[in-house]
Amino acid sequence: MNTPRLCHSWTAHAGQSFVIRQAAPADALQILAHTRAVLTEPEWNITELREFRHTVAEEEAWIHSFQDRPHSILLVADFGVAETPLITGILAFNTQNRFRTRHRGRLGISVQAPYRRLGVGEALLQTLLTWAKVEPELERVELSVFAHNGRAISLYRKPGFQEEARLSRAFKLANGAYYDDVMMVRWVK
Ligand SMILES: CC(C)(COP(=O)(O)OP(=O)(O)OC[C@H]1O[C@@H](n2cnc3c(N)ncnc32)[C@H](O)[C@@H]1OP(=O)(O)O)[C@@H](O)C(=O)NCCC(=O)NCCS
């Protein structure tokens, strides 16, 4: 089925135009580069760079998988012009397709360092919440964030996410240190 792809225009705080749109398999190379760049900042990510081994073909398949699963969506922030995309942020939202968990899904978000503080994260999040409000069955948007990631927690609180639980020492680093995990939720219906 060919459902129309979501695409909305935004203006960054510094005045640049960008769109938030659903990702397409043709974005695989840029999404790979984006993910590798973000994973060079280990203080914000669960996945370590050494664990991320997707090939372009695997990345294409991953992007494609969002089109096949209900209640899941992959959004990108694109600062490109005409046919030349410039992906600067992504938001992946996934649900487990079981009858008893179909009402909830989990998001992950990242913005390229040079494009932060421009409103890109907020645009990705608002687009997801607007979509989730009308997506059948979906009621609960969840996420997990390192307790020390204050800027991400501020981003989530702005549209009304609330802390629901805290897991102490949920992540163990190679150097033996631990990170706590904060679970946040926003009901959309
Ligand atoms: C967290 C992240 C996604 C924010 O994206 P962004 O595009 O810079 O965010 P925005 O510019 O849309 O900011 C929206 C709100 O987030 C909060 N925020 C973002 N950056 C912040 C910062 N450096 N300090 C404090 N608050 C910040 C603010 O509440 C801000 O609203 P305001 O502009 O009215 O103050 C981005 O910093 C990032 O990708 N970080 C690395 C990866 C990461 O931490 N991902 C989340 C893992 S759970």
pLDDT tens, residue by residue, 64-116 = 999 888 899 999 999 998 789 999 999 999 998 889 999 999 999 999 999 99
C-alpha separations of 8 from 32, 128, 131, 157 in Å: 23, 11, 12, 23
- pLDDT for position 1: 43
Q: Where do the domains of the chain lie? A: 7-138
Residue list, ligand 1 pocket, CB within 6 Å: 38, 44, 109-111, 116-122, 145, 149, 151-152, 154-155, 158
What pTM value is reported for the model?
Answer: 0.96
Residue 131 in tokens: 């979509």
pLDDT at 3 over 80: no
Find the range with the poorest average confidence among 31-40, 91-100, 113-122: 91-100
The CATH code belonging to domain 7-138 is 3.40.630.30
Q: Residue count of the chain, please give it.
A: 189
Atom of ligand 1 nearest to the CA of 116: 8
Burial class (CB in 10 A: 0-12, 13-18, 19+), 2: exposed
**164-182 pLDDT tens trace:** 999 999 999 999 999 999 9
- Kindly report the protein residue whose alpha carbon is nearest to atom 30 of ligand 1: 155
Residue 140 in tokens: 């609960």
- pLDDT for position 83: 83
pLDDT at 133 over 50: yes
- Amino acid letter, 59: E
Q: State the chain's mean pLDDT as an integer.
A: 95
The alpha carbon of 118 and the centre of ligand 1 are apart by a number of angstroms equal to 9
The three-state secondary structure class of 77 is strand
